Amino acid sequence: MKFFVDTADVGEIRKALAWGILDGVTTNPSLVAKTGRRFEDVRAEILQLVSGPVSLEVTDMTFDGMLTQGRALAELGPQVVVKLPLTREGIAACKALTDEGIRTNVTLCFTASQALLAAKAGATYISPFVGRLDDVSTDGMGVIADIVQIYGNYGYATQVLVASTRHPMHIVAAAKLGAHVCTVPYKVLDQLFNHPLTDLGNAQFLKDWAKVPGQS
């Protein structure tokens, strides 16, 4: 399973890259706003750092506007994946951009039926938001299971990118279901490393090592 970091914070991306386990980055308008920086500056810096897929989202909600913005974003680098909302216009733009050879990530997906539309439009990625579904008492991972099954039934090439992940068990559940990608906040990526027995075991090994003659 691929790991993307879900952030527009360049410092977080740098730290995640240093671990050697990062495959790409997803951003959205809210994450960019959180940085307090200009989108132009943030995306340029991310594209300099990251060689894997980087999702950059359109903000014009018209079909023509999405095509214009999508094409301009795609020009910024071969890593760019154009992020489009799961609206009628977004799906039509997904089909048009896909036909031009531009990679797309259809976002704000909450149902398997929406995911089917994105696959039919040739999306590179579909982003179902599991955390936001869980927030409204709907089983986010159940939606992932349905999408994985449906895509498998028909051999769709669209990759399931599990989004809005909130804790390590979302990542484990997504991997068990065979989802292609998880996009994960930096804090949750960091949490994946943690286990108290790892810390205790390491402390004991170091303590014992100090007793080995000739070591300190």
Catalytic (active-site) positions:
83
Distance CA 206, CA 14 (A): 29
Angle at 174 between CA 168 and CA 180, to 5 degrees: 120
Q: Which is nearer to ligand E4P, 36 or 214 (CB)?
A: 36
Encoded amino acid at 23, one letter: D
The nearest distance, CB 47 to ligand E4P, in angstroms, is: 17
Residues that bind ligand E4P (CB under 6 A): 6, 26, 28, 107, 127, 129, 131-132, 163-164, 183
Q: Which is nearer to ligand E4P, 59 or 204 (CB)?
A: 59
The nearest distance, CB 62 to ligand E4P, in angstroms, is: 21
Q: Which is nearer to ligand E4P, 8 or 117 (CB)?
A: 8
The nearest distance, CB 31 to ligand E4P, in angstroms, is: 6
Using CB atoms within 10 Å of the CB of residue 75, give its burial: 0 to 12 exposed, 13 to 18 middle, 19+ buried.
exposed
Distance CA 86, CA 72 (A): 20
Encoded amino acid at 174, one letter: A
The nearest distance, CB 8 to ligand E4P, in angstroms, is: 9
Q: Which three-class secondary structure state does DSSP give residue 131?
A: helix
Find, among 174, 165, 168, the residue nearest to 195 by Cα. 168
Q: Which is nearer to ligand E4P, 139 or 208 (CB)?
A: 139
DSSP class of 137: T
